[in-house]
Structure 1
Amino acid sequence: MPNSWPRAIVHIDGDCFFVACEVAKNPKLKGRPVVVGADRGIACAMSYEAKALGVTRGMPVGWIRKICPSTIILPEDPASYTLYSRRMYEIVRRYTPEVEEYSIDECFADITGMHRVLHKPYIEIAKEIQQTLKSELGLDFSVGLSVNKVLAKIASKKRKPNGFTVIDWPSIGDYLKTTSIQNLWGVGGQTARQLYKLGIKTASDFATTAGTEIAKNFSKPYQEIWHELQGKFIFLLNTKSQPNKTSISKTKTFGTTSSDQHFVYSALSANIEGACSKLRKSKLLTDKVSIFLKTQQFEYYHLDFVLPWPTANPKDILDICHQRFAEVFSKDKKYRATGVTLSGLKPANTETLNLFGEAIRKENNKIIYHHIDLLDHRFGANTIFLASSLSALKYQKIKDEGSSSKIFSLNKKRHLGLLSLGKVT
């Protein structure tokens, strides 16, 4: 046991989660082509039956109705999905307190040592978690068990849907040979193409690259992935909402001073987006905001306000900033920096859900930013951002280009292009 399981990490991943929640609520949908996204006008999630008909994520609903008229198209129900997600976390915590709520439809669980507490082998514990989720929620989950997070994630993807895969210490090498580099957690499409040019096509190719070459040519996140592919335990589970944190701040100094109101506001917008991203990563909400502008003469102009509700959505903050920006900005001054501090922090899972319009809007925005955070994780920070941040981010991108010699440096942002997300309603 100790040789095969220095750690025992489980990754639980909901299969077609949003659609599965709809089927659980209405079993008559089982086995039929179902798409979620009627209210957005594009497919946000689809059943395997719909995928078999050629429906893909982002496809306009109008096209789907024409090419696949038998498809059932439903609006999203964010409040319902959130409740199913919370139930998933609760069930997994029956088996271990060490649970990371990674996203609305997936989590990691560290069951190391629980074989002695539950008097069952690790494989039986992981299998029982999957069966309990199915019986109590009526949803399918694919489960992977391995010695660390990266390998557990590889395992859970191997046999979807409703798959169960174990990668113990002796079998790591065999699984890496059958895992393409683009399916490796943390490696996006652009990075995969660059790795292909280096002859690295599988996870095994990456894992067998000399450690000296990894340290020389790759930034820290890729070095850590490489170590996990060796079977080491590097990525700790984030099991807490960091309750001791009292505030989150984000500030940025310009390369040159500016009196352009549009640019200064854009820089503030980018800082607010960055601070809210930190909030969401920490699973926290804020209801108190303090912004500042710093002038060329190092004078500070502050604006403090309280939000009508706790949030991690930058638009909720920017709506007020836009209305009151003239209170701190003067066209006669040159500015060198902007910043924001978020306080009054509280855990996101303490928010009360109800069926009133504002609550539904907030739940919709949670879903949107969940997907934005996934894209940022996969392709790099600021892959998608608010239009109000565009000027500052374009300036920062030009400033950052060529700043590092490492081919996958954190300082060299990976982008899908300058995409922007305007009004989010």
Structure 2
Amino acid sequence: MEGRVVLHSDLNNCYASIECMLHPELRGKYIAVCGSTEDRHGIVLAKNQLAKQCGVKTGEVIWEARQKCPQLTIVEPHMDQYLKFSKIVRSIYLRYSPEVESFGIDESWIELTGSPLLQQKTPLEIANEIRTTVKEEVGLTVSIGVSFNKIFAKLGSDMKKPDAVTVITRESFKDQIWRLPVSDLLYVGRATTEKLRLYGIRTIGDLAQADRAMLIRRLGVNGEKLWVFANGLDQSRVMPCDYEIPIKSVGHGITCTADLRTNEEVRHVLMELSQEVGAKLRKSKLAATRIRISIRDNTLSQREYQGKLEFPTQSYTEIAAAGFNLFCRRYPWNADVRSLTISAIDLIPSDTPIQLDLWSDFEKHNKRLTLERTVEDIRHRYGLGMINFAALTTGLKMPAHREVEYKMPSVMYH
């Protein structure tokens, strides 16, 4: 393969494979890693190959999975172990290139362009060497795509599973992928797939041969991006391992232990969630200029609303109040609320100068931030449950064992 060389490596059935490795008694069984049914997170997070062959899918509820696979064994997730093994596998990739970009806990791109290794081995040989090394040293299998850009490398890693390598070249990509469903292309989700279907676009080849101007009119910038992807013209780089990705949003959400039936119950959950959002903003030295709330009701229908903040803030009480105000104004209460997420969006550096107006009480805002920092210091020193709002001490419809993490913010990136 001449020119650029990019690998995409995907840990096969990551969560389930790690559970089977840590617990040999699970091998040979039909495995699904699922959230807690007591906390209403009873959905399939991951499954092994045997369960997949029975039709078990990620994201479906446990009772649906059991209907397809009555012999299914349910395993609780252990995220600390998944993170540990992800780092171990990543360290193997770094032996081959300093440019290793993570794409979730179980996937990474590896840039080999210009590597001295290519003078000794072909990209296929290098990919197979990585695959074998991961299996022998870690006990897990990976599927690897080899191509001339990130999009096709990712597509290649999905084409043969488990424990396989697929090469997609400039000369062969039309024959290999243009007949595949358009939904196989990265960033083409269900909603986009349906939109494209309405325009007669069902395969990647249909997308590649569609009128570019029409796609831009119908889908905006995303339409042009997908056209570029389908035609093999993507030139996005693999970021080096020490690259810090700009944070796009900071949020926290939860599925409640029981449906929320009143505004007051919603307000309490938003107050609790916003405390972690504020802590993450301070950790990242960012401030929010807008907020977004996502609501899923007990029919599993999803709604999302956004609103502007009075001025940029890290204050969780201000974020919670803005989110609650948005909820009261926009949510129609056609059904009770099952889950809530609140996010700080349109972020700016926290030290950005602010243009004040005559009506904003900025002194009160600063006092509130000082109080919140003090509360946070007390929690760091004596524990998260040491100090809290009185309204959140009883009757809160959230899991009692929930964890609030300050050291590693869970964030959304560009």
Which residue does the alignment assign to 2:289? 251
SS, match of residue 100 in structure 1? strand
Mapped contact 1:252–1:271 kept (Cα < 8 A): no
Q: CA offset at residue 362 of structure 1?
A: 5.9
Which residue does the alignment assign to 1:137? 138
SS, match of residue 109 in structure 2? strand
Q: CA offset at residue 46 of structure 1?
A: 1.4
Which residue does the alignment assign to 1:119? 120
Structure 1: how far apart are the matches of 2:245 and 2:230? 32
Matches within 5 A, 1:74-113: 74-113=75-114
Q: CA offset at residue 94 of structure 1?
A: 0.4
Structure 2: how far apart are the matches of 1:310 and 1:138? 40
Structure 2 counterpart of 1:264, which letter?
A
Matches within 5 A, 1:24-173: 24-37=21-34, 39-40=36-37, 41-61=42-62, 68-116=69-117, 119-173=120-174
SS, match of residue 6 in structure 1? coil
Which residue does the alignment assign to 1:420? none
Mapped contact 2:9–2:142 kept (Cα < 8 A): yes
Q: CA offset at residue 124 of structure 1?
A: 1.2
Structure 1 residues 15 and 116: CA distance shift in structure 2, 3 A: closer
SS, match of residue 142 in structure 1? strand
Structure 2: how far apart are the matches of 1:26 and 1:261? 43
Which residue does the alignment assign to 2:230? 229
Q: Please give the per-residue CA displacement for 1:342-400, whole angstroms capped at 9, x wherever unaligned.
A: xxxxxxxxxxxxxxx99x9468x999x69xx6xx99xxxxxxxxxxxxxxxxxxxxxxx
Which residue does the alignment assign to 1:297? 359
* 5+ residue gaps, structure 2: 248-283, 292-306, 311-317, 328-339, 392-399
State TM-score, norm by structure 1.
0.62
Structure 1 residues 323 and 211: CA distance shift in structure 2, 3 A: same
SS, match of residue 56 in structure 2? coil
Which segment drifts farther, 198-207 or 246-255?
A: 246-255
Residue 11 (str. 1) matches residue 73 (str. 2): no
Mapped contact 2:216–2:223 kept (Cα < 8 A): no
SS, match of residue 85 in structure 1? helix
Mapped contact 1:150–1:225 kept (Cα < 8 A): no
Mapped contact 2:15–2:82 kept (Cα < 8 A): yes
Which residue does the alignment assign to 2:212? 211
Instruction: Give the CA RMSD over aligned residues.
Output: 4.6
State TM-score, norm by structure 2.
0.64
Structure 1 counterpart of 2:189, which letter?
G
Q: CA offset at residue 165 of structure 1?
A: 0.7
Which of 318, 322, 328 is the matching residue for 1:264? 322
Which segment drifts farther, 165-174 or 227-236?
A: 227-236
User: How many residues of Structure 1 are paired with residues of Structure 2 in the alignment?
Assistant: 320
Which residue does the alignment assign to 1:179? 180
Mapped contact 2:11–2:143 kept (Cα < 8 A): yes
Q: CA offset at residue 12 of structure 1?
A: 0.8
Structure 2: how far apart are the matches of 1:44 and 1:66? 17
Which residue does the alignment assign to 1:242? 244
Q: CA offset at residue 220 of structure 1?
A: 2.2
Structure 1 counterpart of 2:21, which letter?
A
Q: CA offset at residue 244 of structure 1?
A: 10
Mapped contact 1:228–1:234 kept (Cα < 8 A): no
Q: CA offset at residue 156 of structure 1?
A: 0.9
Structure 1 residues 36 and 243: CA distance shift in structure 2, 3 A: closer
Q: Percent identity?
A: 24
Structure 1 counterpart of 2:132, which letter?
Q
Which segment drifts farther, 179-188 or 227-236?
A: 227-236
Structure 2: how far apart are the matches of 1:134 and 1:208? 40
Structure 2: how far apart are the matches of 1:256 and 1:78? 34
Q: CA offset at residue 238 of structure 1?
A: 3.3
Structure 1: how far apart are the matches of 2:219 and 2:357? 38
Which of 340, 344, 352 is the matching residue for 1:274? 344
Structure 1 counterpart of 2:344, which letter?
G
Q: Please give the per-residue CA displacement for 1:50-79, whole angstroms capped at 9, x wherever unaligned.
A: 233343334444666677453322211111
Residue 23 (str. 1) matches residue 15 (str. 2): no
Which residue does the alignment assign to 2:397? none
Q: Please give the per-residue CA displacement for 1:73-121, whole angstroms capped at 9, x wherever unaligned.
A: 2211111111010011111010000000111011111111125566211
Structure 1 residues 211 and 88: CA distance shift in structure 2, 3 A: same
Which residue does the alignment assign to 2:256? none
Structure 2: how far apart are the matches of 1:190 and 1:183? 13
Mapped contact 2:160–2:166 kept (Cα < 8 A): yes
Structure 1 residues 274 and 223: CA distance shift in structure 2, 3 A: farther
Q: CA offset at residue 271 of structure 1?
A: 11
